[in-house]
Amino acid sequence: MTQYQAPKGVSEYFPPRSLAFEWVRETLVAPAKLAGYNLLELPIFEDTELFTRGVGASTDVVSKEMYTFEDRGGRSITLRPEGTVGALRAIIEHNLDRASLPVKIWYAGAFFRAERPQAGRYRQFYSVGIEAVGSDDPALDAEVISIAYEGFKNLGLKKFRLEITSLGDRQSRAAHRIDLLKYISTLDLDESTKERVKLNPLRIFDDKRPQVRLQMQEAPKLLDYLSDESRVHFETVQKYLQALHIEFEINPRMVRGLDYYTGTTFEFVHDLLGAQSGIGGGGRYDGLMEEIGGQPLTGIGFGLGIDRALLAVEAEGLQPSTPTHSDLYLIALGEMAKVQALITAQNVKSEGISVEIAFGEKVLKNAMKRADKNGAPFVVILGDSELSTGSVELKEMKTGTTFSVTLSSLPQALRQALDGR
- Residue of 54, 83, 151, 377 that binds ligand HAM (CB under 6 A): 83
Select 279 or 367, whichever has its Cβ closest to ligand HAM.
279
Rounded alpha-carbon distances, angstroms, from residue 156 to 69, 147, 197, 304:
41, 15, 41, 16
Q: Does 280 bind ligand HAM (CB under 6 A)?
A: yes
Q: Does 56 bind ligand HAM (CB under 6 A)?
A: no
Beta bridge partners of 46: 78
Query: Is residue 331 within 8 Å of residue 367, measured between CB atoms?
Result: yes
User: Taking phi first (over 0 means left), then psi (-120 to 50 degrees means alpha), and beta for anything else, what does residue 211 get?
Assistant: alpha
Q: Does 106 bind ligand HAM (CB under 6 A)?
A: no
Select 44 or 178, whichever has its Cβ closest to ligand HAM.
44
Name the one range near ligand HAM by CB under 6 A: 96-104, 123-131, 161-169, 360-368. Answer: 123-131
- Residue of 52, 58, 127, 340 that binds ligand HAM (CB under 6 A): 127
Residue type, 129: G
Select 105 or 387, whichever has its Cβ closest to ligand HAM.
105
How far apart CA 259 and CA 212 sit, in angstroms, is 20
Residue 273 CB, shortest distance to ligand HAM, in Å, is 9
Q: Does 184 bind ligand HAM (CB under 6 A)?
A: no
Residue 120, C-beta contacts closer than 8 angstroms, at least 6 positions apart:
273, 274, 275, 276, 305, 307, 308, 311
Site for ligand HAM in 293-322 (CB under 6 A): 301-303, 305, 307-308
Q: Does 257 bind ligand HAM (CB under 6 A)?
A: yes
Size of interface with ligand HAM, in residues (CB under 6 A): 26
Q: Does 176 bind ligand HAM (CB under 6 A)?
A: no
Residue 129 CB, shortest distance to ligand HAM, in Å, is 5
Query: Is residue 62 within 8 Å of residue 52, measured between CB atoms?
Result: yes
Q: Does 102 bind ligand HAM (CB under 6 A)?
A: no
Query: Is residue 299 within 8 Å of residue 332, measured between CB atoms?
Result: no
Question: If 0-12 CB within 10 Å is exposed, 13-18 middle and 19+ buried, where does residue 60 land?
Answer: middle
Write phi, then psi, for 196 (nearest 5 degrees): -65, -40
Residue 232 CB, shortest distance to ligand HAM, in Å, is 22
Question: Which one, of 289, 296, 204, lies nearest residue 255 by Cα?
Answer: 204
Select 38 or 346, whichever has its Cβ closest to ligand HAM.
38
Chain residues binding ligand HAM by CB under 6 A are 82-84, 113, 115, 120-122, 125, 127, 129, 131, 257-258, 278-283, 301-303, 305, 307-308
